[in-house]
Chains A and B, each alone.
Chain A
Amino acid sequence: MPIFQDNRQLLSRLKVIKALFVVAFLVLFVKVWYLSVLKADYYRELANQNHVRVVPLVAPRGLILDAQGRVLVDNIQSSNLILFLDKTEHLQATFEFLKGLNLTAEELEARLLTARNYSKFQSLVIKENLSIEEVSYILSHQAEHPELTIIEEPRRLYRYGALAAHAIGYVGEISDRQLKQSEFVGHKPGDIVGKYGVERTYNPILTGIDGQQRHLVNSVGKVIQELSSIEPKAGNPLTTTIDLDLQQVAETELGDRPGAVVAFDPNDGRILVMASRPAFDPNTFARRISRQEWGNLVENPDNPLQNRTIQSQFSPGSTFKVVMALAGLERGVIDETTSVHCTGGVTLYGHYFHCHKVGGHGTVTLSDAIRQSCNVYFFLLGQKLGINEIETFSKLVGLGQLSGIDLSGEALGLVPSEEWKRRMTGEKWYAGETISVAIGQGPMNVTPVQLARAIGIIATGRVPTLHLSAVDKEPALHQPQVAAPTFKVENLRAVRQGMWRVVNEWGTGRAAQVHGFEVCGKTGTAQTIGSATRSKLSKDQAAKFAPNAWFVGFAPRDNPEIVIAVIVQGGESGGGVVAAPIAGKVFQTYFAKTHKVPPQQNIQLASNFPRIIKPNGQGAALSQ
């Protein structure tokens, strides 16, 4: 070792190192201060996200019941796989793991995209209705995938499948558009809401209040402690007016034929039957994640999602004659005794209009004309009334008007008028066109519900408030859309007499006859295209545009309890053959179900005493 050392230079260099140390520690300290003071709230929130896992407890929707309290729609538990959206740091690993459930990265990406409006503390359902094997696959890998867990969530079960599907409707995950609507206020993204039918109309009643569990979890997703729990509150049950027995009969009788049946109680407007064909199984939609079936239904040219009772518009055909009859009587153009001689046709405005009976009906009174559906009688009546009177009166009984039923998407229908034609085509109305309208053809279109409602007005003289549930959620929906008309009792009675004869006196609608139950009705066979057009079509094409078969009616004749409208699309052989038997079966079932006392006696009693108006009967009083 050297003897002499001059270390002054070395010692001065130590100062550089000291300064370096002080500066470095200052930097470290400032960073700690920045994290734990300046950004403390931010990091506390992140820490909470780490430790606190919020598991949703989805509230079951309310049951949907028929008029007698039988359960139509129920819930079942489904094991669903959820992803915590605040724990998605390792999405690629998650995707890799979920290949074990046959979920592809593309499907998951698409699913995640639907969650863009979720709050980050929410969880996203990524697979529903897991099998026991799938559940154990997830649970056995829970430690590696704390971002995933399995919850039990109630799922809608439509017990009768397609039965009354259009009236009941279906549910689905709330859409971005719905989230912005006042109707769905209070819902959050990912919620299951009613999309159609009463599920939609009465969504606020059926929707429960979701609960949640807050857990303290460790880094591998193991629950250390339950922090708090809010129990879910189930939605309220909804009693509908649907009568399961009648509905089943109507649907069985309709079979696979496209068409619709609607029946209601004219005293209070309760819809008893609402059937539409072709139908769909709402259980298909009970899942959140859109599936192939959905696309198939939407793209189906037969349009099974359309509720033909309120959304499809048809020519009323001969059923319109009862409205014409009442219009003629009310306007004083005819009376009960006015008769016409039918020779099988009549020339009006230089054009020969056919009656359906070759050779004619001979001399017919009003009630004969209704019973036999004589065209000539109504051609002449139409000529006398003129299109404007026909339009005014049709609207008075609710044709071409919304019925106000508690379902969304109702079609308006159409009653033509001079003004309408001018507006639509710019041309003037030709008097000859009135003649077609007089027998329910031409540009006139109605929905089955509208037509049934008009028949209900004729049957009782009062305007029914049609509804599927008596819960008065949105009063606006229940408001009658037309001013309450007042018709003369004798005029109504004259029309009803004709309708009674249709069914009970070898008229066109005798297939609807029920022994002991005085059914009144009217058949119709409405052309879907003009006869000139038809003659140009091949046989196959013509079959597509085969006429629609109608039956409308009510029973019993006095103090009616049930009104019905049946349409079978393409029911070529006519309303009497195709549609009337369906109505007959519904009447028969109704009669067997409700009339335990001998019917004759019942009717006597009812006609001798003033009718007691039921508390919820909102029909306008008949002027005496």
Chain B
Amino acid sequence: MSKAFSRFDLYLFGAAMLLALFGVLGVYSASLHSPVSSAFSRQLVWTAMGLVICFVVLSIDYHYLTDHAFTLYAVSIAVLIGILLVGKEINGSKSWLSIGGFGFQPSELVKVVVILTITRYLADLNENYLRSQHFIRLAGIVMVPVLLVIMQGDLGTALMYFPILAGMMLVAGLKPRFIVGVLVLVVLVAPIGWFSLKGYQKQRIMVTFNPELDPKGIGYQTRQSQIAIGSGGLFGTGIGNGLQSQLGFVPEVHTDFIFSLLAEETGLVGAFIVLMLYLFVLLRLLVIAEKARDRAGILIMTGIASLMFFHVAVNVGMTLGMVPAIGIPLPLLSYGGSSAVSTYVALGLALNVHFRRFVY
């Protein structure tokens, strides 16, 4: 038992739990004067469930998961297609399954499956640089779920697949000319992507870079979030006292804008602690990658770190008005089941890789 305990990464787990505590605190504050007063108790349920899932994932050797990655991938694609046919539409995106009264977005979990799938493919490859035929296969692995998720209408989640791919490819080895080639491709494809965006999506992007350009008040959310964070000052207004968050000026304070609430009510000090905890978690994930027993472990950790980093950077960047308002949650903090489940699965995987870093 003590041996098992020493193999368990307390640093990662401890930091994650502190962040979860901030999340519980934030959701509690958000539910004080809000119509979603049940959010606090539900958040506790989600966190408890997440921990259970986390330890279930920890208990299964990750090699078993990578061995069956292609199967998991096939099942995931089938589920995504199934949802397109029978899914429930919430907030304009048909990506939800209803399980016992709790809404659940399978696309969140599919991201972890994609990490495992890419890991399996690259680990089998066992090369130090990728060639173009590898890239095409990798793109295929990612694009199938991305297109399905876009078809569900959830652009934010779809975007999250790309940093996974980018981070894992970077570690798997990209030749400089290949990087240049990708950049050229992005420049060529970007205009096409721009024109395929919906009107409101385009405006969100425009407004982020030019808040003055605000014809229909789309910059309102971002501006209110900035006011919340700015008016919090050094030490904040105290939990439950942030008027921006409590009086409904900042939208979605229990989910996407929970960072604004925490910054308003706990100030720069609170925001600093949260950001430092995230940075600690991310660097710790990479430390686990360095200690990993094999290539598969390295790649899994890279994928998880990339995914988590992108979530945090885009979400916090959005509340600060640096990134267009994309509706993605802040891992471990935001209220919401699907995000919690996928985050705790990822956490379980990371602990898993650390747990099995030595060959016995």
Contact check, A25 vs B275: say whether CB atoms are below 8 A apart.
yes
- A28 CB-CB contact with B under 8 Å: yes
Closest Cβ neighbor of A29 among chain B residues: B275
- B233 CB-CB contact with A under 8 Å: yes
How big is the A interface, by class? 35 or more
Closest Cβ neighbor of B219 among chain A residues: A89
From 332 to 351 in chain B, residues with beta carbon under 8 angstroms from any chain A beta carbon are: none
User: How many residues on B have C-beta within 8 angstroms of the other chain's C-beta atoms?
Assistant: 56
Contact check, A46 vs B302: say whether CB atoms are below 8 A apart.
no
Closest Cβ neighbor of A27 among chain B residues: B322
- A185 CB-CB contact with B under 8 Å: no
Contact check, A31 vs B322: say whether CB atoms are below 8 A apart.
yes
Contact check, B282 vs A46: say whether CB atoms are below 8 A apart.
no
Contact check, A17 vs B286: say whether CB atoms are below 8 A apart.
yes
A112 nearest CB across to chain B (Å): 17
Closest Cβ neighbor of B246 among chain A residues: A218
Query: Chain B 224-263, CB within 8 Å of chain A: the 1/0 string?
Result: 1011111111100000000110011100000000000001
| Chain B contacts for A10, CB-based, 8 A | 128, 171-173, 295, 298
B7 nearest CB across to chain A (Å): 20
A310 nearest CB across to chain B (Å): 54
- A473 CB-CB contact with B under 8 Å: no
User: In the complex, A42 Cα to B233 Cα: how many Å?
Assistant: 11
Contact check, A13 vs B171: say whether CB atoms are below 8 A apart.
yes
Query: Chain A 21-41, CB within 8 Å of chain B: the 1/0 string?
Result: 110110111011101110110
- B86 CB-CB contact with A under 8 Å: no
Contact check, A37 vs B268: say whether CB atoms are below 8 A apart.
yes
| Chain B contacts for A489, CB-based, 8 A | none
Q: Interface SS of chain B: helix, strand, loop or mixed?
A: helix
Query: Chain B 261-297, CB within 8 Å of chain A: the 1/0 string?
Result: 0010001100110010011001100100110001110
User: In the complex, A37 Cα to B236 Cα: how many Å?
Assistant: 11
Given contacts A18-B286, A35-B320, contact A28 B226 (CB under 8 A): no
Instruction: Spot the interface stretch: B12-20, B76-84, B145-153, B305-313.
Output: B305-313
- A14 CB-CB contact with B under 8 Å: yes
| Chain B contacts for A300, CB-based, 8 A | none
A32 nearest CB across to chain B (Å): 5
Instruction: Spot the interface stretch: A1-9, A115-123, A204-212.
Output: A1-9
| Chain B contacts for A93, CB-based, 8 A | 217
- A132 CB-CB contact with B under 8 Å: no
| Chain B contacts for A7, CB-based, 8 A | 294-295, 298
User: In the complex, A1 Cα to B232 Cα: how many Å?
Assistant: 53
| Chain A contacts for B272, CB-based, 8 A | 29, 32
Contact check, A219 vs B279: say whether CB atoms are below 8 A apart.
no
- B220 CB-CB contact with A under 8 Å: yes
Contact check, A43 vs B126: say whether CB atoms are below 8 A apart.
no
B212 nearest CB across to chain A (Å): 12
| Chain A contacts for B170, CB-based, 8 A | 13, 16-17
- Which one of A22, A25, A33 lies within 8 Å of B268 (CB-CB)? A33
B354 nearest CB across to chain A (Å): 15
User: In the complex, A293 Cα to B70 Cα: how many Å?
Assistant: 83
- Which one of B217, B224, B263, B275 lies within 8 Å of A36 (CB-CB)? B263
User: In the complex, A218 Cα to B244 Cα: how many Å?
Assistant: 9
- A601 CB-CB contact with B under 8 Å: no
Interface residues of B (CB under 8 A from A): 63, 123-124, 126, 128, 167, 170-173, 214-217, 220, 224, 226-234, 243-244, 247-249, 263, 267-268, 271-272, 275, 278-279, 282-283, 286, 289-290, 294-296, 298, 302, 305-306, 309, 313, 316-317, 320, 322
Sample 22 A-B pairs with CB under 8 A, ordered by A number: A1-B296, A5-B294, A7-B294, A10-B295, A11-B289, A11-B298, A14-B298, A17-B286, A17-B305, A21-B282, A21-B283, A21-B305, A28-B320, A28-B322, A32-B275, A32-B320, A36-B263, A47-B230, A50-B224, A50-B249, A51-B244, A216-B243
Interface residues of A (CB under 8 A from B): 1-2, 5-7, 9-11, 13-14, 16-18, 21-22, 24-25, 27-29, 31-33, 35-37, 39-40, 42-44, 46-47, 50-51, 89-90, 92-93, 216-220, 224
